[in-house]
Amino acid sequence: MEIKANNPALKSWIEIKPDTDFSIQNIPFGVYKDSQIEHHACIAIGEYVMDLNALQHLHYFNGVNLPAHIFSAKHLNDFIALGKQTTRAVRDRISDLLTVENKELQNNEAHRKQIFRHQSDVQMLLPVHIGDYTDFYSSIDHATNVGKMFRDPENALLPNWKHLPVGYHGRASSIRVSGHRFHRPKGQTKPTDAPPVFGPCKLLDFELETAFIIGKSTKMGESISTEKADDYIFGMVLFNDWSARDIQTWEYVPLGPFLAKNFASTMSPWIVTLDALEPFRVEGYKQDPKVLPYLEYTGNKNIDINLEVLIQPENGEATMVSESNYKYMYWTAEQQLAHHTVNGCNVNVGDMMASGTISGPDKHQFGSMLELTWRGTTPIKLKDGSERKFINDNDTVIIKGHCKKGNVRVGFGECKAKALPAV
């Protein structure tokens, strides 16, 4: 299927710098606020946002069947739930309005003033209400690194790992949008050869992840096949699954992550549609042994998304500490969703499914401090000369991501958060 808005030849009358994440081929959806607007849906283009509520009120969406007030809702859930035919028509129409050939909005200064805001003048909000959040563990390099460190260097992967996408149900209440701050968590940890103690986490870590947002609900008892999975995925965001390694080590047996994870997670504000990511599809990981039939798929199901992580100390310059890529995933989003629903578990619009830490095969591609410093044994040097084994108080961690093919760049913006001292 050809997606009109993805046409690499499209040019906009809006000034768009070549290194922007928000090209005319992207058009990601979000929700903003400013001094006048409490919450309106918007898209990003170059350095601007476009208010979709204003576009609708000025009759620019007359050709699309949209309910009134759909873009003044607090979250995008109801818009997303209209289905891909409608959300695609909206994206195509915005794309049309932004092309050099189209003069409708280009030549209407009064309307442009009502529709455009500079990104620096708005605050981005959490784009969706996340009912449920699941986190997978689907990067083979990450799972191998963790297995080597904590279990058996010779037999790093557990026996189930190559047969099913391992995951756990996370906590949606503490997912925040990029730009937030949180306090270093406190909890129980266990010193070697001493009873457990309570106090601030000493080994605070990030996890470089992406997440996909469910775009179509299912009924209980229904399953989604790998071939149909893309119909149920609206788009993707960047995600940081903050982790307290010392709390995790003590608490995780036998049921997995709990308080080491649920104190904070950060997502980027822009949902890049799966449509916009289609041109960047690449071959999936060659899975050996062969997976069970319900996990098989045809075609290219990985996506070439360049990812990076930066640490910015208080009042200091940011240093890039990791450079990975979503294409290293062993299990694809389609397989994760097929597995998640194969037992009849229902999903709802706005649910979030995170990838798990995305590490690549090389050391500079590892997606957590745990791996980058190999459990703190090889610290990283930052530009200001200081060293990090894990994340310090007042450090800001920034995740960035973008796809690039020819002249077309489609990016995610930033997913950043600052770790404040424990209270």
Query: Which residue number, 142 or 409, has a Cβ lying nearer to Ca ion?
Result: 142
CB of 247 to Ca ion, least distance (A): 14
CB of 137 to Ca ion, least distance (A): 7
CB of 356 to Ca ion, least distance (A): 5
Neighbours of 62 (CB within 10 A): 10
Q: Which residue is nearest to Ca ion (CB)?
A: 241
Name the DSSP letter for residue 365: G
Catalytic: which of 142, 339, 340, 402?
142
Residues that bind Ca ion (CB under 5 A): 135, 207, 241
Percent helix, strand, coil in the chain, to 5, is 20, 30, 50
Q: What is the DSSP string of 182-223?
A: EEPPEEEE--TTS--EEEE-S-EE--EEEEEEE-S---TT--
For the chain, how long is the longest CA-to-CA vector?
74
Query: Which residue number, 10 or 358, has a Cβ lying nearer to Ca ion?
Result: 358
Neighbours of 174 (CB within 10 A): 15
Query: Which residue number, 170 or 284, has a Cβ lying nearer to Ca ion?
Result: 170
Whose CA is closest to 90, among 43, 32, 24, 45?
43
Query: Which residue number, 32 or 412, has a Cβ lying nearer to Ca ion?
Result: 412
CB of 261 to Ca ion, least distance (A): 7
CB of 258 to Ca ion, least distance (A): 13
Kindly give the residue spans of alpha helices, DSSP state H, lying in 99-207.
109-115, 140-150
Q: Which amino acid would we find at residue 127? A: P
The helix/strand/coil state of 141 is helix
CB of 257 to Ca ion, least distance (A): 8
Q: Where are the beta strands (DSSP E) in 215-264?
A: 233-240, 243-244
Query: Which residue number, 135 or 414, has a Cβ lying nearer to Ca ion?
Result: 135
Q: In this structure, what token pair is assigned to residue 332? A: 């694809």
Residue 141 CA to residue 127 CA, distance in Å, equals: 31
Query: Which residue number, 51 or 135, has a Cβ lying nearer to Ca ion?
Result: 135
Whether 169 sits among the annotated catalytic residues: the reply is: no
Residue 390 CA to residue 382 CA, distance in Å, equals: 12
Q: Residues with catalytic annotation? A: 142
